[in-house]
A and B are shown apart, each in its own frame.
Chain A
Amino acid sequence: MPRSTRRSGSSGTSTPPSSLSSPPSRPLFPAISLRSSSPSSSAKESSTQTITARSSLLNVLTRPHHSAPTTSISNAHASSADNNNNHNGSSSDEDTNYSDQSTISSYASSIISGTYMMENQHLTSEDIAKVYENYLEKPFVNTKSTIKHSEFGHCNNPNWRWTSQWNTDEPIHPAEEPRPPYFTLLTTYISYILLIVIGHMRDFFGKRFRPAEYAHLMPQNGYAALNSDFDSFYTRRLKQRLEDCFARPVTGVAGRSIVCYDRASTDENKTFNLTGTTTRALNVSSYNYLGFASSTGGCADAVEACIKKYGVSGAGPRHDASTLDLHVQTENLVARFVGQESAMVVSMGYATNSTTIPALVGKGCLVISDEFNHASIRFGVRLSGASLRSFKHNDVDDLERILREVISQGQPRTHRPWKKILLIVEGLYSMEGSLVNLPVLIDLKKRYKFYLYVDEAHSIGAMGPNGRGVCDYFGVDPRDVDILMGTFTKSFGAAGGYIAGSKQIMDRLRLRSHATCYAESVSPPVLTQIIASMGSIMGVAPPLAAPADIIDDRSDTMSISSRPTAYGPAPAYILPSWMKLPLNLLNGTEGRERLRRLAFNSRYLSSGLRKLGFIVYGHRDSPIIPLLIYNPGKMPWFSQLMLDRLGPDKTPIVVVVVAYPATPLITSRVRFCLSASHTKNDIDLILRACDEVGDLLGMKYGKQTMNVEEVIASAEELVAASF
């Protein structure tokens, strides 16, 4: 039984992964074959046991000798690992207790991972299918939680947890981006050329022989065409071929699993007809990072109470008597959460950027923007009238070059100095999975005196040991960033967005932002969802029931406990008095558990896919994991095969495929968005599915170093290792 001494727990004193310094020079897990993560099955195989014991010793030797061993390939029966790994004598008992609870879930894993197969040579795919029957609805573990397993997977194993925190030994960005073979690049280009040529031919003949179908592209009775055929060429001729992958109608909660309506097209994807059936599929597409999208549980109960009290509408704009006490409470809580002085909420995430940026900068100001910034930022900058320069994605050298140029040159032609320079970056890029290099930006900011605006749409709640976004992740003081922006759609299962900063800046924004003056205010149930989910991540004082665990003072990086004031619990007086939250949400245990589950899931899948030989972009701690497809023809196939599944478990998975214009033309990709609601078994399932489809479609462009069973068996090691 592989074990980690990093307790799951409420104390928040987990060891930062950075203590895993000096990565071993060679792989930690050489040639581990068919090994299960279940103690019951692995104990039966002596050969496996020796390998694990040996490699665990290896692991111990290569780890620095301070008391923060993160994981090891240990076995419940390998005493050496026990002695080395525990800084706390009682932990082995605890682990056994925990692992008992998760035995059933390991069982399914072991069946597929092969140990079971060895004992029962005749295990057929029907048997596997039987194990996975109702996999998405029926939990493997016993639980008292009221939350449905289909919305939030129950997973008790404390080893499948991780803390999302910057490890100074791991580079924030890879030295060079993984490149596909030239053959792939060539075929991708040829595919696009072919698509474009055929598209133009179809347009040419279609317009002449079937003018009725092209009516909206051609002038008629004196009206110009509504859509220019050039502008819509991409949509009509390229995207329409993939149309089935997009905008699938769904129903219910976009939680761990989601119910899709099955549909079919008889006219080449122009229209779809619902077939009347539905499919429940594992959902790795929604931005439900912390699994707060839920129809039951403490947050939902609070929202219900709110609807009864407040109704559903925010009605008019904030300045016209639609500022509720709830808005003020939410804003106070958000300011505390992100560690800023003041905050402001807006009813739509997109509008948060597009209505705020014009209130900050205008003519004579310069905005420097990352080239992969979100459309809402570009929209906002265009509205503001400020000049725009963009720098290469996450390239701080390019940024510095541009900074030196623009400061020394001043405004074009007049050479007057810029009034303000605002640098806009995202914390976590939603298409790349890459993190901003915040520490370097803060240094540059001190030198070049620009203002920093960090869009944390995806990182807030999803990154950092306390879930407070990239500042928390990097251990940067949030007040070093001038403006922190984020959305509630993603981690908090609500809607809308926030802006946070100093009181002075926020007052100016309240006066000048388009949203406060003219846009509808946030609706009360949405506010309640924000307060409840955010409060449960923070924990609410006074009932700070989290038991104090041992604090590892020898940790060499800033741990959470060393700065308790910055990210403390929410004071109870900020929350509405009528709001009743259950204890596990109030004391923050639930929130912390979710953060740690998300961190494990992200790192596991990202590392696993890399080991399988896929080209994966982004940081391993990112819950967004883009897997590169390249060839446009493979996109619909990948999406369809993940839904139809070849493997014996037959559990459908819904994925998002993204292509141009959201990404550069050739790097079309599939994007997994992980969630705390996924269990480790779910990730195993995704890895198996990717492995099958990847082999079939020839998508393993990199070097495969492990097979899928090895990856699954060494999940914890992969997560702990820094490579």
Chain B
Amino acid sequence: MSGIRTPISTLAAAAQPASTEIPAPLIPLLSSLTSIIYTIEHLFNKIPGSPIIVRYIKSSYQDDPWRSVLELFLLAFAIRTVLKGRTRGEGEGKSFIKLTEKEIDELVDDFNPLPLADDPTPADSFTLDTVPTIYGPNGIKVKTAANGKTLLNLATPNWHGFIENDKMKQVAIETLGQYGVGTCGPSGFYGTIDVHVKAEADIASFIGTEASIIYSQAFALVSSAIPAFAKRGDIIVADRGVNFGIHKGLQISRSNIKWYAHGDMKDLERVLQSVERERKRKGGKLTKKFIVAEGIFENDGMLLDLPKVIELKKKYKYRLILDECQSFGMMGAHGRGITEHFGIPATEVDMILGSMANGLATGGGFCAGSQVVCQHQRINSSASVFSASLPAMLATCASAAIDILKTQPNLMTSLQANITIFRQQLSKLEAGGPGSEQKLISIPSDMNSGLIHIFLLDPPDSLEDEELLLQDIVDEVSNTSNLLITRSRRLRSQEVFEPEPSLKICVSGFMSKKDVESAGKGLKAAIVKICGSLIRLGLIDFVSEHYVVLG
């Protein structure tokens, strides 16, 4: 390096007298090399600031030759990194096998993928064939065939008869005349209509939070709102019994998920303590911590012990994400959900997720919370940003339904009365219930919940057999008592924790007391007939025989 500043002329001159020692053919080579070095040096000296660089290199070499070696090595490494492809995993991975074009062609010819959809199993066809189709309008009285008989609908959430409410129909027609049907755009691009703003304000003031944001589907809301906040590295403590949408949200969030036993507050505290211990042991940055639970659990109708959860959440500094898709519109004195039921201000909960399709019989979902929480979702929640906004008429109908709920608390009392009547009819079959009849079922659902799940106490061995048995009950009540009920539909093999099969009942306050009473009686008789007889006959034989017939 110091050679750079050595005058080339002297070097050349020195080479001349010693020419005898250099073989003749090398002389032109050497002289051309010399002239190249000379030109480079000349050019280099022309660059402004070049003496500084040279001085720097010289002094650093003299002071510390090892440093120069290290710098040279770093330079080489940097060049190598730049030249190397940026994308990892494309032909660079450890297990990558280099193949010739011909071999690849052969492999392509041999590639034999599975069919996109496998053949349906008998169980699959059974599931599809038992989905009822409703002819004409939905509501508490429906027909499942074009000219069939009228059935009492205990399968659709319709807590206050909003589906057939004339006021709401009127509001919808008025909205249609002003706004049409679709909004033709996401809320960010001229899809925020004034009726959305009003519906959001109405929901927020009804529940008692600072703000709310509406989504166009409740399922998408749940699976998108959670990952909008919970990110990789955050901690989520969730109830094992949460619904499918929450599971999907948790999966997308990639957070660190801890489960506590369904409805078990002691276990929740244990989990919270263990997280705390671990954090103290490991130290590190403070991360976001969430508790995720449902107000009324979709999978079994159980009620969350909200006061206890609030107490624990405050004690351990967690944020609470409460899914009220079932309980909103169904619980509390005005249908505000379980916060009203327990008399806890909604501001104590950080995020309340609700469904307007279930609770208000319109469509879409909402998230209620603080201004910061809602504003954040408008930009960061995938299902809110990338989807068209809710049709205007569904928003105005939601506002109308909230007005009805606010002004008519008797709706809630008649719903509660109907639930009580229905539960009374079944209580004799329940484990631990009164009377000396055979105990066939268990109902974990809360006594105030309109959503009632009925589980068999003594189920057959396999899930398929149990589903068949429950479907027999569904068919029996449809034939003998003119009831439309459904067994809980599940996505077997996609669920995180497979829920037990159950019958799902939705009681409506819009039904007459007499109807509800006879419905309860009819269902009880059907359960006794199907399950009682099974136990006498020997369960397994019956079911497998039945299954063969079906398959």
Whether B90 is near chain A, meaning CB under 8 Å from some CB there, is yes
The segment from A12-20, A43-51, A312-320 that touches chain B is: A312-320
Separation of A374 and B173 alpha carbons in the complex (Å) = 34
Whether B108 is near chain A, meaning CB under 8 Å from some CB there, is yes
The segment from A98-106, A202-210, A249-257, A540-548 that touches chain B is: A249-257
Pick from A219, A303, A320: contact of B486, CB below 8 A.
Answer: A320
CB–CB B379/A239 < 8 A: yes
A614-639 contacts to B, CB under 8 A, are none
Q: Given A224-B288, A322-B156, A350-B383, is A286 in contact with B184 using a C-beta cutoff of 8 Å?
A: yes
Q: For residue A310, which residues in chain B have a CB less than 8 angstroms away from its CB?
A: 136-138
CB–CB A358/B189 < 8 A: no
Pick from B93, B132, B158, B172: contact of A412, CB below 8 A.
Answer: B93
Separation of A258 and B372 alpha carbons in the complex (Å) = 29
Pick from B134, B177, B188, B357: contact of A313, CB below 8 A.
Answer: B357
CB–CB A322/B134 < 8 A: yes
Pick from A320, A422, A509: contact of B155, CB below 8 A.
Answer: A320
Q: For residue A248, which residues in chain B have a CB less than 8 angstroms away from its CB?
A: 190, 192
Whether A340 is near chain B, meaning CB under 8 Å from some CB there, is no
Q: Given A224-B286, A383-B248, is A328 in contact with B190 using a C-beta cutoff of 8 Å?
A: no
Whether A216 is near chain B, meaning CB under 8 Å from some CB there, is yes
Pick from B91, B181, B383: contact of A493, CB below 8 A.
Answer: B181
Separation of A294 and B183 alpha carbons in the complex (Å) = 10
Q: For residue A450, which residues in chain B have a CB less than 8 angstroms away from its CB?
A: 113
Chain A interface size, under 10 / 10 to 19 / 20 to 34 / 35 or more: 35 or more
- The chain B residue with its CB closest to the CB of A453 is B116
CB–CB B244/A517 < 8 A: yes
Whether B83 is near chain A, meaning CB under 8 Å from some CB there, is no
Q: For residue A347, which residues in chain B have a CB less than 8 angstroms away from its CB?
A: 216-217, 363
CB–CB B387/A349 < 8 A: yes
Separation of A248 and B187 alpha carbons in the complex (Å) = 9
Separation of A689 and B111 alpha carbons in the complex (Å) = 55
Chain A 275-315 per-residue mask, 1 if CB under 8 angstroms from chain B, else 0: 00000000101111000111110011001100111111111
Whether B256 is near chain A, meaning CB under 8 Å from some CB there, is no
Chain B interface size, under 10 / 10 to 19 / 20 to 34 / 35 or more: 35 or more
CB–CB A375/B378 < 8 A: no
The segment from B423-431, B457-465, B489-497 that touches chain A is: B489-497
Separation of A310 and B393 alpha carbons in the complex (Å) = 14
Separation of A286 and B118 alpha carbons in the complex (Å) = 40
Whether B416 is near chain A, meaning CB under 8 Å from some CB there, is no
CB–CB B397/A312 < 8 A: yes
Q: For residue A328, which residues in chain B have a CB less than 8 angstroms away from its CB?
A: 133
Chain B 329-357 per-residue mask, 1 if CB under 8 angstroms from chain A, else 0: 00000000000000000000000000101
19 extra interface residue pairs, beta carbon distance < 8 Å, beyond A216-B372, A224-B287, A354-B223: A223-B288, A226-B319, A231-B380, A250-B193, A295-B180, A311-B138, A312-B168, A315-B358, A316-B506, A319-B131, A321-B156, A348-B216, A408-B103, A489-B184, A489-B185, A493-B181, A511-B128, A515-B219, A523-B362
Q: Footprint of A on B, CB under 8 Å?
A: 89-91, 93, 95-97, 99, 103-104, 107-108, 111-114, 116-120, 124, 127-128, 131-139, 142, 146, 153, 155-158, 162-165, 168-169, 172-173, 176-185, 187-195, 197, 216-220, 223-224, 229, 231, 234, 243-245, 248, 251-252, 285-289, 317, 319, 355, 357-358, 361-363, 372-373, 376, 378-380, 382-383, 385-388, 390-391, 393-394, 397, 484, 486, 489-491, 494, 504, 506
> What are 13 sample pairs from A and B whose C-beta atoms fall under 8 A apart?
A224-B286, A226-B372, A287-B184, A313-B162, A313-B163, A321-B142, A348-B387, A383-B248, A412-B93, A489-B388, A493-B182, A495-B391, A517-B244
Q: Footprint of B on A, CB under 8 Å?
A: 151, 216, 219, 221-228, 231-232, 235, 239, 246-255, 258, 260-261, 283, 285-288, 292-296, 299-300, 303-304, 307-325, 327-328, 347-351, 354-355, 358-360, 374-376, 379, 382-383, 403-405, 407-409, 412-413, 415, 417-422, 447-451, 482-483, 487-490, 492-495, 502, 504-505, 507-512, 514-515, 517-520, 523-526, 529, 654, 656
Shortest beta-carbon contacts, A-B, top 8: A321-B155, A519-B219, A350-B387, A520-B357, A348-B217, A508-B117, A489-B388, A319-B489
